[in-house]
Amino acid sequence: MRLSLQPLQQQKQQQQLQMMMTTELGQNITLLQLTNRELANYLEQLSEENPFLDVTWPSTIGASEEEQTERWIAQQHPRDDLKEQLSWMTNDERLKRIGHALIDSLDSNGYFREEIEGWAELFDVPSDKAERALAFVRQLEPVGIGARSLIDCLCMQAEAFAPHEPILRRCIEDDLRAIAAQEIDRLATKYNVSRQKMDDIVRLLQSFDPKPLREQHPVDYVTADFIATDVDGKWEVTFDRLTVPSLQLHFEYAHLTTLDDPFVQQKMKEYEFLKTGLEERQQTMERFATAIAELQQSFFEKGKEALRPLTMKEVATRIERHESTVSRTVANKWIETQHGTYPLKSLFPARVTDQEVTPEHVQRKIETLIRSESPSRPLSDQAIADALENEGLTIARRTVAKYRIALGYESSTRRKVR
């Protein structure tokens, strides 16, 4: 009796297809989280390893030297850049001062190694306020700034770039030495996954930056990955293709693509995967650009004061992508506007309850009310909440008290001038 080999062949083909899809997915993740400048360097590096890759830059014919130069923005000292990012996150001047001091205290890799209680005592504030300032610092980019340790730094990046990969976080917390020793088979057995899956997880981890500050290179340049322009009175955001090279099949080797040679076929597969990944990245970037232009139209017109609360989940729904995809799209990328060039992450301010206002907007309202109050009859927290209610902002009294304290104002009893 003959045994049919067809089921075995089908199983083998399915396994090969799954491995190809897993490899392609890992590469797409890498491509998406790279900035345009990093992508250019990445493609140049790959082209040195694969003779079939031809990396060409977009033509700048017709553009003046000044226009080309303006695409590169001189970046400040890394700590100054972090402080500028922080200024977008809160209007509380005391929180900013604490945050700036914490940024100055980071070690050369960007880690916060000190006890927060000491900083609370230094600034004469409650520990929870100092912790809040540290929480702001830990939201800065590059992801990993403010980490307490190497493991914390890598976990922060895992949460940002691969939130739905639980094995990755477990590897970071328990198996860094095994990963460094390339014990892939043992780890695959431990976590009950295929070797290919484990290999992809390790490669993803290796793409993380254990030294996010990298102060040994204090002078650098960044390019705006997105550009906002006024088109007939409406602001549009475009993905800047002039800072990204294109990928083609090298003409000198095109005639070899039909050869039945393992090396040629492997390099051709790498080219095809990369070409598909770059097209997917471009589509995602363009969808994101359209969505952010529509959702933050007032900001592009009026500036920071007009920012509306926005979540990455909201953008993900609009562009029909996963929230983690939006997170990777935003990570470490910049946008050029008429008001300046800013990290994309600054276009995602937090929301107060379910209303279309940011915490900073509410704090400004509270500060205005307190500054205009009668010194002999200062407003209580409930009176402030009522005043905000009259302006259409439903804010709980306890929330008012929290923001008042954050702004550095004492209670109405202590503010009263007798």
pLDDT at 145: 94
Helix (H, G, I), strand (E, B) or coil at 408: coil
* pLDDT for residue 168: 92
Kindly provide the b/e burial profile for residues 173-209, where b requires at least 16 CB atoms within 10 angstroms of the residue's own CB.
eebeeebeeebbeebbebbeeeebbbbbbbebbeebb
**In the beta sheet, which residues pair with residue 234?**
231
Strands 234-239 and 246-249: what pairing?
unpaired
CB 418 within 8 A of CB 378: no
pLDDT at position 114 is: 86
Phi, psi of 221 (to 5 degrees): -130, 145
Write out residues in the chain with pLDDT < 70, as ranges.
1-26, 58-77, 214-222, 254, 257, 350-358, 418
**How far is residue 220's CA from residue 31's CA, in Å, rounded to a whole number?**
21
Structure tokens of 394?
A: 């439903």
Query: 40, 243 in Cβ contact below 8 A?
Result: yes
Q: What pLDDT is stored for residue 70 in this prediction?
A: 47
What pLDDT does residue 14 have?
53
Q: What does the pLDDT read at residue 23?
A: 54
* Structure tokens, 367: 């500060």
pLDDT of residue 263: 81
147, HSE (Cβ side, Cα atoms, 13 Å): 24
pLDDT, residue 239, reads 85
CA gap 364, 403 in Å, rounded = 10
Q: Count the Cβ atoms, other than its own, within 10 Å of residue 20.
A: 13
Name residues whose C-beta falls within 8 Å of residue 6's C-beta, 6 or more positions apart in sequence: none
Tell me the pLDDT of the chain averaged across its residues. 81
Q: Any idea which residue has 């960007």 for tokens?
A: 110
The predicted pLDDT at position 353 comes to 55
Query: In angstroms, rounded to a whole number, what is the distance separating the alpha carbons of residues 130 and 21?
Result: 46
